[in-house]
Protein backbone atom coordinates (compact mmCIF):
# COMPACT_ATOMS: atom_id res chain seq x y z
CA UNK A 1 0.00 0.00 0.00
CA UNK A 2 1.50 3.29 -1.10
CA UNK A 3 1.84 5.87 1.67
CA UNK A 4 2.36 9.59 1.25
CA UNK A 5 4.03 11.50 4.05
CA UNK A 6 4.10 15.28 3.92
CA UNK A 7 6.34 17.77 5.66
CA UNK A 8 7.26 21.43 5.55
CA UNK A 9 4.19 23.50 6.37
CA UNK A 10 4.33 26.43 8.78
CA UNK A 11 3.59 30.13 9.10
CA UNK A 12 5.28 32.79 7.00
CA UNK A 13 4.85 36.48 6.27
CA UNK A 14 3.56 37.73 2.92
CA UNK A 15 6.32 37.65 0.34
CA UNK A 16 8.03 34.76 2.08
CA UNK A 17 8.82 31.28 0.82
CA UNK A 18 8.13 27.73 1.91
CA UNK A 19 8.88 24.30 0.55
CA UNK A 20 6.57 21.35 1.06
CA UNK A 21 7.68 17.75 0.64
CA UNK A 22 5.69 14.63 -0.13
CA UNK A 23 7.44 11.27 0.07
CA UNK A 24 5.80 8.24 -1.52
CA UNK A 25 6.77 4.96 0.08
CA UNK A 26 6.06 1.38 -0.94
CA UNK A 27 4.94 2.37 -4.43
CA UNK A 28 4.93 -0.72 -6.62
CA UNK A 29 3.57 0.69 -9.86
CA UNK A 30 5.45 1.48 -13.03
CA UNK A 31 4.86 5.22 -13.35
CA UNK A 32 3.66 7.52 -10.61
CA UNK A 33 2.12 10.95 -10.98
CA UNK A 34 1.94 13.31 -8.05
CA UNK A 35 0.04 16.51 -7.42
CA UNK A 36 -0.51 19.19 -4.83
CA UNK A 37 -3.92 20.46 -3.80
CA UNK A 38 -5.07 23.03 -1.27
CA UNK A 39 -8.29 23.60 0.57
CA UNK A 40 -9.77 26.32 2.73
CA UNK A 41 -12.46 25.50 5.28
CA UNK A 42 -15.83 25.35 3.57
CA UNK A 43 -14.34 25.62 0.10
CA UNK A 44 -13.66 23.14 -2.64
CA UNK A 45 -10.29 21.59 -3.00
CA UNK A 46 -8.14 23.32 -5.62
CA UNK A 47 -5.46 21.72 -7.73
CA UNK A 48 -2.19 23.62 -7.41
CA UNK A 49 0.43 21.71 -9.41
CA UNK A 50 1.23 18.25 -10.73
CA UNK A 51 4.18 16.31 -12.06
CA UNK A 52 5.03 13.15 -13.91
CA UNK A 53 7.68 11.63 -11.66
CA UNK A 54 9.14 9.76 -14.62
CA UNK A 55 10.15 12.52 -16.99
CA UNK A 56 9.31 15.53 -14.87
CA UNK A 57 6.63 17.23 -16.97
CA UNK A 58 4.85 19.76 -14.77
CA UNK A 59 1.47 21.48 -14.74
CA UNK A 60 0.19 24.43 -12.74
CA UNK A 61 -2.97 26.23 -11.77
CA UNK A 62 -3.16 29.73 -13.19
CA UNK A 63 -3.49 31.20 -9.71
CA UNK A 64 0.05 30.24 -8.72
CA UNK A 65 1.97 30.24 -11.99
CA UNK A 66 5.28 32.01 -11.71
CA UNK A 67 5.31 31.74 -7.92
CA UNK A 68 5.15 28.01 -7.19
CA UNK A 69 7.34 25.28 -8.61
CA UNK A 70 6.78 21.54 -8.39
CA UNK A 71 9.79 19.29 -8.76
CA UNK A 72 10.84 15.83 -7.74
CA UNK A 73 13.58 13.52 -6.59
CA UNK A 74 13.04 10.30 -8.49
CA UNK A 75 15.43 8.32 -6.32
CA UNK A 76 13.57 9.30 -3.15
CA UNK A 77 10.15 9.16 -4.84
CA UNK A 78 9.51 12.57 -3.36
CA UNK A 79 7.70 15.57 -4.81
CA UNK A 80 8.32 19.09 -3.64
CA UNK A 81 6.29 22.28 -3.86
CA UNK A 82 8.46 25.37 -3.70
CA UNK A 83 6.26 28.34 -2.90
CA UNK A 84 7.65 31.85 -3.37
CA UNK A 85 6.12 35.31 -3.09
CA UNK A 86 3.44 33.90 -0.82
CA UNK A 87 0.24 35.85 -0.37
CA UNK A 88 -2.37 35.75 2.36
CA UNK A 89 -4.70 34.10 -0.17
CA UNK A 90 -2.33 31.12 -0.27
CA UNK A 91 -3.27 30.26 3.31
CA UNK A 92 -4.80 26.79 3.23
CA UNK A 93 -4.32 23.15 4.09
CA UNK A 94 -2.11 21.63 1.43
CA UNK A 95 -2.38 17.99 0.41
CA UNK A 96 -0.29 15.88 -1.89
CA UNK A 97 -1.82 13.14 -3.97
CA UNK A 98 -0.46 10.32 -6.10
CA UNK A 99 -1.52 7.53 -8.38
CA UNK A 100 -0.43 5.52 -11.39
CA UNK A 101 -0.30 8.05 -14.19
CA UNK A 102 -3.63 7.96 -16.03
CA UNK A 103 -4.17 8.67 -19.71
CA UNK A 104 -4.68 12.37 -20.27
CA UNK A 105 -3.07 13.34 -16.98
CA UNK A 106 -1.63 16.46 -18.56
CA UNK A 107 -5.14 17.90 -19.01
CA UNK A 108 -7.12 16.38 -16.14
CA UNK A 109 -4.62 16.33 -13.29
CA UNK A 110 -6.69 18.73 -11.18
CA UNK A 111 -9.91 16.73 -11.55
CA UNK A 112 -8.48 13.22 -11.38
CA UNK A 113 -9.52 11.04 -8.41
CA UNK A 114 -6.19 10.05 -6.91
CA UNK A 115 -5.88 6.82 -4.96
CA UNK A 116 -3.34 8.05 -2.42
CA UNK A 117 -3.31 11.18 -0.30
CA UNK A 118 -0.97 12.73 2.21
CA UNK A 119 -2.02 13.75 5.69
CA UNK A 120 -2.18 17.47 4.92
CA UNK A 121 0.05 20.37 5.90
CA UNK A 122 -1.17 23.76 7.09
CA UNK A 123 0.34 26.79 5.38
CA UNK A 124 -0.47 30.14 6.95
CA UNK A 125 0.57 33.41 5.34
CA UNK A 126 0.02 36.30 7.67
CA UNK A 127 1.63 39.60 8.60
Exposure string over 37-48, b if 16+ CB within 10 A, otherwise e: bbeeeeeeeebb
Instruction: Report how far residue 87's alpha carbon sits from residue 125's, in angstroms, rounded to the nearest whole number.
Output: 6
Instruction: Report how far residue 109's alpha carbon sits from residue 116's, in angstroms, rounded to the nearest whole number.
Output: 14
What pLDDT tens digit does each residue of the chain (127 aa) get? 889 999 998 899 999 999 999 999 888 888 899 999 999 888 999 999 999 988 889 999 999 999 999 999 988 999 999 999 999 999 999 999 999 999 999 999 999 999 999 999 999 999 9
pLDDT value for 95: 98
Residues 6+ apart with CB under 8 A from 84: 17, 67, 68, 69
Collapse the DSSP code of 108 into the 3-class scheme (helix H, G, I; strand E, B; otherwise coil) and give the result.
Answer: helix
pLDDT value for 42: 86
pLDDT value for 102: 92
pLDDT value for 41: 81
Instruction: Report how far residue 79's alpha carbon sits from residue 97's, in angstroms, rounded to the nearest whole number.
Output: 10
pLDDT tens-digit readout, 6-18: 999 889 999 999 9
pLDDT value for 118: 97
Amino acid sequence: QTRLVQSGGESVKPGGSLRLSCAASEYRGSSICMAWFRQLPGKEREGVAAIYMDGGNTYYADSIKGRFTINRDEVKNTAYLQMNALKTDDTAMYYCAADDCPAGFYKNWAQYRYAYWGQGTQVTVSA
